[in-house]
Every structure is written in structure tokens, then in C-alpha cells.
A and B are shown apart, each in its own frame.
Chain A
Amino acid sequence: MFGASALNIRNRKVEGLFRVLFMLMTGLLILPVVIILAILTWKGGSVVDLNFLFTNPTEGMTSGGIFPALVGTIWLVSVALLFSVPLGVAAAIYLSEYARDTWFTRIINLAIINLAGVPSIVHALFGVGAFVLFFRFGTSILAASLTLGIMTLPVVIVSTRESLQAVPMAFREACWNMGATKWQTIRKIVLPNSISGILTGIILEVSRTAGETAPVMFTGAAFFLPKLPQSIFDQTMAMSLHLFVIATQVPGVPENLSYGVAFVLIAMVLTMNSLSIAFRVYLRGRKKW
């Protein structure tokens, strides 16, 4: 047999070194997340209660709750979803199941990648130009949600397309060979087996949409509105903008109030994300192939 040569020993040492190195890097990555959550919980957790969630801000937003902002964020996210999910899923189905590899589809793919890379403030300005001014929606939930929707469209398309393409080609071919049309194959085999991935992508999109500030700032979210929006043509408050406002624009806001808003916002996002993880774990358990 071979003894432990010098080379062997050295290889083992290097191996150990790299293992520790990579572990430290991973630890470093987790650190900021833990610190953020700890500080938010420590400083903001105490102000959050049902009263905080369900009352209006009072005294020039230096005290009271966040109810209109909370409701506003739900409005904005829901309307954005109504727009981006059908459009994004349809586009993804076309690109994944129908489109052939031509210059046209390549341009579309390029456009999707570029759209994903556009900074959110640019989306905001586009939203002002297109929805607020050109389509005359004014600063409203509709304009803000459409802006958010366009911004998240690439995310929906890419995640949906990936879920669709995770369905083995052999399943489609088996179906086609049976005389099924493409749509029958999509409906009976492809969609039922990719719906979990699609929904996961949508949930992640929700959490991202909820946290965006720039795109809603100029298009529909208001500084302060004591009453709730009545329709999608009203302005509304939004959690993200509210946090920005009380943290930087309004003097004399107690520190723990801002932390409280941040805490609620991040709790919303984390809840959505954990939901998506739980969903994925659940569906992985009953994976069918």
C-alpha cells in the first residue's frame, strides 16, 4: 500500500484550509441578515402591536399606526400582480413551448434580460411618462401598480420559463406522439407539473414588489393620506415610501417608530418568502418523477 507521502499530507492541509475559508465566507454572508433582523426586532419589535397595524398615523406622522400604508401596499401589490402574472406567464409559455429559436425570439429574450437590469428609478420615470402623463391615469394606484408590474415582469417570465423547462422533454414527446396538440400537452402535463415553481416565483415577486420605493414614489404613493384609497384611480400610502418619509423627511419622529415600520415591512417580505420556501418543500415531497 502507499504510505502517507508528503504530497498527500500537503493536499489534506490545503483541503482543510479551503474548507474553513469557504465556511467563513458563508458565515460572513449570513452575518448582515442576522444583524439587520436583530436590530429591527430589538428596536422596532416593541412598538408593533395590533393597534400599530390598524390605526392611522397621527400628529404629523410622529406617532400612531401605519394602517393606510399597509392597506396601500396590499393594493399596489395586488394590482401589479393582476397585470404582471397573466402577461408574464403567457409570455413564458410562448417562449418555452411554442417559440422557435429565431432572431425574433432572441431579441425578445435579450429584451427580457435587459428589462431585468433596468434600475428601478428608471422604471419610475418611465411610469411617470407612460402611465401618469401619457395614459392620463394621474398619480394613482393604477399607474404605480403598472410601473411595478412592468418592473417585475422579467422576473415572472424568467422564473416561469425555468419552471416550464424543468418538465422533462420526454413527457411532452410522449404526449405529442399520442396525438395531443401543444396546448393539450401544456394543459394536461406541463402546467400541472410546473405550477409549484411558477407560484414560488410569483410569491418571490410579491415580496420584491412590496419593498420597492422608487417606482411608486412618483407614480401613485403619497406622502401622507389619512384615508384609504377607494379605487385604483386614487393615490395611496405605501409602506416602503412611508418608511422613507418618516426616517428622512419628517423631523421629530421617534426612532422606534421608524424601526417599527421597517420591522413590519421586513416581516411581510420574510413571511412571503418563507411561504414560498414551505410551498417548495411541500411540493418537492410529492414530486412526481
Chain B
Amino acid sequence: MISFPHNDNPVKLEVKDVAVRYDSRTVLSGITFNVHEHEIFGIIGPANSGKTSFLKVLNRMDIFNPAMSFTGGIVFNGKDIRKWRNVYSLRKRIGVVFPLPVGLPLTVYENVALAPRLAGVTRKTELDIIVERCLARAALWDEVKDRLDSLGSLLSGGQQQRLTIARALSQDPEMLMLDEFSIAVDPVTTMRIEDVLKELKKEMSIILVTNLVQQARRLADRTAFFLNGEVVEMGVTDDLFAGLVKDQRTRDYLDGRFG
């Protein structure tokens, strides 16, 4: 049985016995955990353990893929995400960062101004403030403030990934999901982004999917270990890394015996 480590902050996201299927193939099952406010929740596990599918369901991206379906309960802000009639407003509250940075083929400025514009912000002064604030929070402002009009897709990989984070922040999310954000990013930028996440944690919940065990150790308050579509183990990150694990597979994974 999976334990529920204690956390005093209010619950932001409740996941109860969730299973995800592509047609009849089950890629995830029996997923149960809560994510609290001001918490970084780490999800680790080897490739093909269903981590990305899980994030897609959280953001209701499953409706774009007829083969994809899920069962179980996912409650965000106290409301079942299936009852969220306006999926656009649900998605707006959940920012996503993909493994490969996606600089939209717009200027740096427009990349960050897009979400506010879609939400109806038209005043230039207001947009300026949002753009600067989001870029600054993503630790990118100093590098791009003199070339806001150049194309976002022409920035370096590390800069694009921070641009992606700035863009996710521009929609003013209550939760941020990062899917192996450091795959295409150099170590220095990775550390900068990690610092950014520690700051952001003060304002929102963060789900950090990572293939780097040490990254989860550095950032996550609690960590779940996904393997072959199941949660093998979940607990306070420090406990897991101190050796308080119940399952031998977790120990092997944390020790780098498979990956």
C-alpha cells in the first residue's frame, strides 16, 4: 500500500486510482496521490513508464486523441477535471513545459504576450509589464531584453526552454507541470531553471517529471517512482534518498542499477 506522507499545505490536486488507456492498451493504472500547494512533486522513472501520458490527462489533452481515455478521479481545485466544462480555462490554470523547448515562431515578446492576449489583454502597457515580469521570473529577461523583437524560435535551446517557462507563467497558472525539461538544456541553464523553480514553488504547485534522479532529489519535496505504468513507491524525497524505501526496485533505480 502506498503511504500518504504528511503535508500541511492545502491540497491542489487529488489523483485517485487513475488509469490511462490507448485503445485497449493500459499504460498507467492505480495512480493515487495528492499534490499540495507550494510543493514540488517529483515523478521519476525510466522511459515508457507512463509519466507523459499522465500529464496529458491532467491537462485534458486526451480529448484531442480519440484513442486515449482515462478512468478514476482527478480533482483540481476541488473540482473533477471531467466536470470542468471549459477545458480552456482548466488548461490556462495549468502551465506545461515540454521536454524539447518549443519557441513558437513569434517574437520573444509575442511568445510571452500570446496567452494574455488570448485571455483578452490588449493594452500595450499592461502586456509590457506581464512580459517583463514573466521573462524575469524565468531568469531570461537580462539576456533578451534588448532583442524582444527577434524570433523566439531562434534563441538557443536553453534560452528557448526558459522562454517556454516564461510563456507558461504568462498564463498565470496555479500549477506548473514540467516534463523532463532538462533533456535539451545545458547543465548551467538547468541549474538556473532549478533555482527558478524553487522560487516559483512559493506561489504555486509544481509537478516535476524527470529522468534525472538527482534532480528530483534537489528539488522535489515528495517523489513518486513510476515503473511500467504503476506507482511503485512514493514518499518524502529525503526519506527515499536516505534509504527508507519499501520496494527493492526503487532502491535499484535510485542507485542507478537500471534506468
Report if A177 contacts B (CB, 8 A).
yes
Question: Which residues from chain A contact B212 at a C-beta distance below 8 Å?
Answer: none
Once the chains are docked, how many angstroms separate the CA of A36 from the CA of B98? Answer: 54
Q: What A residues does B105 contact at CB under 8 A?
A: 171, 189, 192-193, 288-289
Q: Are A174 and B98 in contact (CB under 8 A)?
A: yes
Contact between B98 and A178 (Cβ–Cβ < 8 Å)?
no
Q: Which of B1-9, B88-96, B193-201 contacts A (4 or more CB under 8 A)?
A: B88-96
**B-chain residues with CB within 8 Å of residue A173 when the two chains form the complex:** 61, 98, 102
User: Is A180 interfacial (CB 8 A cutoff)?
Assistant: yes
**Could you tell me if A176 and B115 are in contact, using CB atoms closer than 8 angstroms?**
no
Nearest CB of chain A from residue B165's CB, rounded to whole Å:
12
Interface residues on B, range: 20 to 34
Q: Which residues of B contact A288 (CB under 8 A)?
A: 105-106, 151, 153-154
Asked if B104 is an interface residue, CB under 8 A from chain A, the answer is yes
Q: How many residues of A contact B (CB 8 A)?
A: 20
Is B258 engaged at the interface, CB distance under 8 Å to the other chain? Answer: no
Q: Is A1 an interface residue (CB 8 A)?
A: no
Answer yes or no: B136 CB below 8 A from chain A CBs.
Answer: no
- How far, in whole Å, are A100 and B64 apart by their CA atoms in the complex? 9
In the complex, whether A58 has a CB less than 8 A from a CB of chain B is no
A179, CB-defined interface residue at 8 Å: yes
**Which B residues are in CB contact (< 8 Å) with A171?**
102, 104-105
Residues from chain B with a CB closer than 8 A to the CB of A188 are 114, 118
CB atoms of B102 and A170 under 8 A apart:
yes
CB within 8 A of A179: which of B106, B118, B153? Answer: B118
Contact with A along B114-137 (1 / 0, CB 8 A): 110011000000000000000000
CB of B68 closer than 8 Å to a CB of A: no
Say whether B91 contacts A174, CB under 8 Å: no
The one of B98, B151, B154 in contact with A170, judged by C-beta atoms closer than 8 angstroms, is: B98
Q: How far is the CA of A193 from the CA of B119 in the complex (A)?
A: 22
Query: Is A175 close to B, CB under 8 A?
Result: yes
Q: Assess whether B153 is in contact with A180, with CB atoms less than 8 Å apart.
A: no
- Report whether A178 and B153 are in contact in the complex, using a CB–CB cutoff of 8 Å: no
Expressed in whole angstroms, the Cα–Cα distance for A178 and B169 within the complex equals 10
Q: A173-B61, A177-B59, A179-B89 are in contact. List 7 more A-B contacts (CB 8 A).
A: A173-B98, A179-B171, A180-B114, A180-B118, A188-B114, A288-B105, A288-B106
* B interface residue numbers (CB < 8 A to A): 59, 61, 64, 66, 88-92, 94-96, 98, 100, 102-106, 114-115, 118-119, 151, 153-154, 164, 167-168, 171
